[in-house]
Amino acid sequence: MPRFLRVLGNLKYRLIVEGICVGILAGILVSAFRLSLMKIDEIRNMLLEGAQSRLSVVICCLLLLFFFAVCVSFLVVREPLCTGSGIPQVKGELEGKVKSNWISVIIAKFIGGIMAVGGGLSLGREGPSIQLGAMVGKGFSRINGRFHSEERLLMTCGAGAGLAAAFSAPLAGVVFSLEELHKTFTAEVLLSTMAASITADWAASYIFGLRPVFSLTLSNSLPLSHYWMVLILGVITGAFGVLYNKCIALSQDFFSMLRPVWLRAALPFAAIVILARFYPHALGSGHDLVSFAGEGGAGVKILLILLVIKFLFSVFSFGTGAPGGIFLPLLVLGAVTGGLFTEIASPLVGYANTYSAYFVILGMAGYFAAIVRAPITGIILISEMTGIFSNLLPLAIVSLAAHITAEIMGGVPIYDQLLERMLAARGGEARKPVRKV
């Protein structure tokens, strides 16, 4: 018995060391992915600006989009597990329902994600980052000849490290891995995932610095007497979250019927051309729109148009199966919803736009809780991404209200929904999605 206890103790510390190794490798890979997206976003904006006055730039943009569409189609056909956000694939593998070639997935996801997200589709970097990190963990396990149970732990470490490096949010990486992926809380899982996430964030900080992802400032705190507004926003975001998940399913149904496969990528890239001409603000993940909504004063009409177009383009982009996540787009939708709520509600209660940033943050939390159904992860993630930890109470209230609203309306968590669809498409036995309580 003492010898058995010593073995367990050695395993725990070995997993911490391995978590650090996975965190460093995942942090470097995801940081390279994140940096590449930033650079290609800059190039895209320069091309859009040049296309306003020069025909040669317009032709260059069209050829580049055509090239991206062809490459994305090829990668999706060649490596089907690189499609979408990648989180359902990781969940499926941790549950023993999916098997992947870690090298192939890393190559296809990295290149495909850069072309899809950087090309202008309304997708995020977080899902690909989580899958890239998980595949780093799997590769580390295979190279070192680890058993399957240990491989699952290292994949969990890599997934948490991927989220930490993508958003500079190490605590969210840990909680997401426990709440959404591994679903088992042990000292081995907690400590190794913490080691991986912290190490990955440390590696990313050398490139991106220590500043939060979103630049928002809260000038005032909402009085307790007006917390009923937080509850209302929670109900609204909960209902919108259910609508979003159902629209994602409808979009996937539509694109699954298209033949040949290259047409699935051609349509959204054609939509990029239209939006680039008439509404370029909707292109890409929409990171800058969070600050725009938080500044206040944009007006109901502008925010409403932005919300509708961004909602439809996000659903349209993800339904194609192109490599890219939904975390960042859904946070942007939540931010715009929060800003719109402020513009409508503030005059009714006698406020100006003082609380725009406040409700933008709450809107992001509400959308996340309703769509992903992981409220604790959402609260921590948004707090780390904004660098604001003083409003945990309203974040908890809006997340709970959105979560309960989505449950009452019969909504299914997005990653459970996507996993069931993926397993059915791969010939697995289709099961009725089980709602989380």
- When pLDDT is cut at 50, 70 and 90, the band that residue 298 belongs to is confident
Give the CATH number, domain containing residue 411. Answer: 1.10.3080.10
> What is the residue-averaged pLDDT of the chain?
86
Alpha carbon distance 385, 381 (integer Å) = 6
Question: Percentage of residues in the chain with pLDDT exceeding 70?
Answer: 94
Statement to judge: residues 50 and 187 lie in one domain: yes
Residues 6+ apart with CB under 8 A from 308: none
- For residue 342, what are the domain limits? 224-425
Statement to judge: residues 195 and 84 lie in one domain: yes
Count: domains in the chain: 2
Given this model, what pLDDT does residue 6 score? 52
Given this model, what pLDDT does residue 265 score? 78
Alpha carbon distance 251, 269 (integer Å) = 15
Residues 6+ apart with CB under 8 A from 162: 26, 30, 129, 130, 131, 132, 133, 134, 136, 173, 200
Higher pLDDT, 356 or 361: 361
Q: Are 395 and 365 in contact (CB under 8 A)?
A: yes
Statement to judge: residues 270 and 402 lie in one domain: yes
Residue-wise pLDDT tens digits, 229-272: 999 999 999 999 999 999 999 999 888 887 777 778 788 888 88
Statement to judge: residues 322 and 369 lie in one domain: yes
Res. 434: pLDDT tops 50? no
- Structure token pair of residue 229: 């507004």
Higher pLDDT, 3 or 60: 60
Domain boundary pick from 208, 238, 265: 208
Residue-wise pLDDT tens digits, 371-399: 998 889 899 999 998 888 888 899 999 99
Question: Percentage of residues in the chain with pLDDT exceeding 90?
Answer: 37
Lowest-confidence segment of 206-220, 334-348, 356-370 by average pLDDT: 206-220
**Within-domain flag for 335:** yes
Given this model, what pLDDT does residue 396 score? 94
**Within-domain flag for 215:** no
Higher pLDDT, 341 or 220: 341
Domain boundary pick from 158, 175, 208: 208
Residue-wise pLDDT tens digits, 41-93: 888 888 888 777 777 778 888 888 888 888 888 898 889 898 888 899 999 99
**Within-domain flag for 2:** no
Residue by residue, what is the 3-state secondary structure of 262-291? HHHHHHHHHHHHHHHHHCHHHCCCCHHHHH
Statement to judge: residues 388 and 247 lie in one domain: yes
Statement to judge: residues 57 and 196 lie in one domain: yes
Statement to judge: residues 199 and 228 lie in one domain: no
Statement to judge: residues 235 and 327 lie in one domain: yes
As a whole number, mean pLDDT of residues 195-208 equals 93
**Within-domain flag for 431:** no
Domain boundary pick from 155, 182, 208: 208
As a whole number, mean pLDDT of residues 191-202 equals 93
**Within-domain flag for 18:** yes
Given this model, what pLDDT does residue 282 score? 84
**Within-domain flag for 233:** yes
Rounded-to-10 torsion of CA 186, 187, 193, 197: 130
Phi-psi map region of 84: left, alpha, beta (phi>0 left; psi -120 to 50 alpha): left
Residue 140 sits at the vertex; the CA angle it makes with 419 and 171, to the nearest 5 degrees, is: 65
**Within-domain flag for 281:** yes
Helix and strand counts by DSSP (H, E) for the chain = 17, 0
**Within-domain flag for 353:** yes
Sign of the dihedral through C-alpha 133, 138, 142, 144: positive
Statement to judge: residues 374 and 401 lie in one domain: yes
Statement to judge: residues 32 and 163 lie in one domain: yes
User: DSSP of 204-249, one letter per residue?
Assistant: HHHHH-SS-SS------PPPGGGTHHHHHHHHHHHHHHHHHHHHHH
Q: Is residue 260 reached through a cis peptide bond, with omega within 30 degrees of 0 on the bond before it?
A: yes
Statement to judge: residues 179 and 245 lie in one domain: no
Given this model, what pLDDT does residue 21 score? 94
Output phi, psi for 124, to 5 deg: -115, 170
Residue-wise pLDDT tens digits, 109-155: 999 999 998 888 889 888 899 999 999 999 999 998 888 778 889 99
Residue-wise pLDDT tens digits, 5-50: 454 456 777 888 999 999 999 999 999 999 999 898 888 888 888 7
Statement to judge: residues 234 and 324 lie in one domain: yes
Q: Which residue has the tokens 């996340």?
A: 368
Given this model, what pLDDT does residue 255 score? 87
- When pLDDT is cut at 50, 70 and 90, the band that residue 432 belongs to is very low
